[in-house]
Amino acid sequence: METSASYKEHTSIMRDLDLHSDFAKVREPYKEDFEKIYAEAIEADVKVSNAKAFLEDLTIEELSTLQEYTRLVDEVVVDELSDEGAYNLLMHFYEKYDFDGDGITEDGKARTISNIPQDMDSDLKKAFVEAINSTDEDNMLSMMMLTLDVDRLKYDLAKEIDAMSDAEKVYVQEHTSSDLERFVADQLKEPFQPRPMSYETIMERVDHLLKPGADEYAALGFQESMRTFSDTLQHAYSELQKTKTQDVQSQVLLNDLVQKHESKTVESSDPLAFLLQES
């Protein structure tokens, strides 16, 4: 299993996320068989570099279990998988990771954008998970969409359009009022550079949803859930920041005490300094 510090920290936070009850319900028929495969993968010390080799030794039935447990549309064809996709296919939801840092988490052949970005500040990530867990299931997905990277979606859409044939582009253009050629040019003029999701950005989106415009509407139940989410996020993040500040202050104080102690030790071992102090 992968053991880098960033991976371990991210997965430890994600493990605390309480997903919708339907998530476990639809996977229950395949859970026992999946856990057997998972245990074998851990025992074999499977990593990104050798995950495909491990999958190649599995039976058709075991590959089918992975497909069903991961909720993949297509059958698992090992040769068609990337190293990242092969590894994530063997992992629990909280262990799936974007190892090449391109903003896309490959899981089998599926390509997804994490609702809790792995490059988000760890304190914010922890607070966000706590806030999601405070949300009723009916509105959980909406809250998780607060971290959606719209710029990433636009960039990926532009790449898909750019790869289309001329006939496909003409067809799409006929069914949209946007200038596709200009859209693609604007989005692909330079490589996409993801920006970590910030606390301020999330709160701006929350405020917008709590105070919709004149031509917008938000159901009362949704707004109540959003307030609970917002209050939990603000409190959790504030407490984590306070703890971090206290830890830094404690470390500074400790360093000062150590330096003073070392300084006194040096002085006491200096005969001349000792004599001068006595005089």
Query: Domain spans of the chain?
Result: 5-114, 117-142+200-279, 150-193
To the nearest whole number, what is the mean pLDDT of the chain? Answer: 89
pLDDT digits (tens, 9 = 90+) for 237-262: 999 999 888 877 777 777 777 777 66
CA distance 229 to 206: 9
Percentage of residues in the chain with pLDDT exceeding 90? 68
Distance set, CA 139 to CA 3, 14, 200 (Å): 34, 19, 21
Check residue 211 and give its pLDDT.
87
H-run or E-run covering 224? helix 220-268
- Compare 20 and 78 and report the one with higher pLDDT: 78
CA distance 106 to 219: 35
Return the C-alpha torsion angle 221, 226, 228, 233, nearest 10. 170
What single letter denotes the amino acid at residue 265? T
pTM comes to 0.81
Whether residue 2 contacts residue 97, with contact meaning beta carbons closer than 8 Å, is answered with yes
DSSP code of 75?
A: P
Assess whether pLDDT exceeds 70 at residue 106.
yes
Q: Where are the beta strands (DSSP E) in the chain?
A: 105-107, 110-112
CA distance 138 to 20: 9
Contacts of 62 (CB under 8 A, 6+ apart): 33, 37
- Compare 249 and 209 and report the one with higher pLDDT: 209
CA distance 15 to 25: 18
Check residue 265 and give its pLDDT.
63
Phi-psi region of 197 (alpha: psi -120 to 50; beta: other; left: phi over 0): beta
Give the phi and the psi of residue 220 in degrees, each rounded to 5.
-60, -45
CA distance 8 to 4: 6
What single letter denotes the amino acid at residue 277? Q
Contacts of 161 (CB under 8 A, 6+ apart): 169, 172, 180, 183, 184
Assess whether pLDDT exceeds 60 at residue 277.
no
CA distance 166 to 51: 38
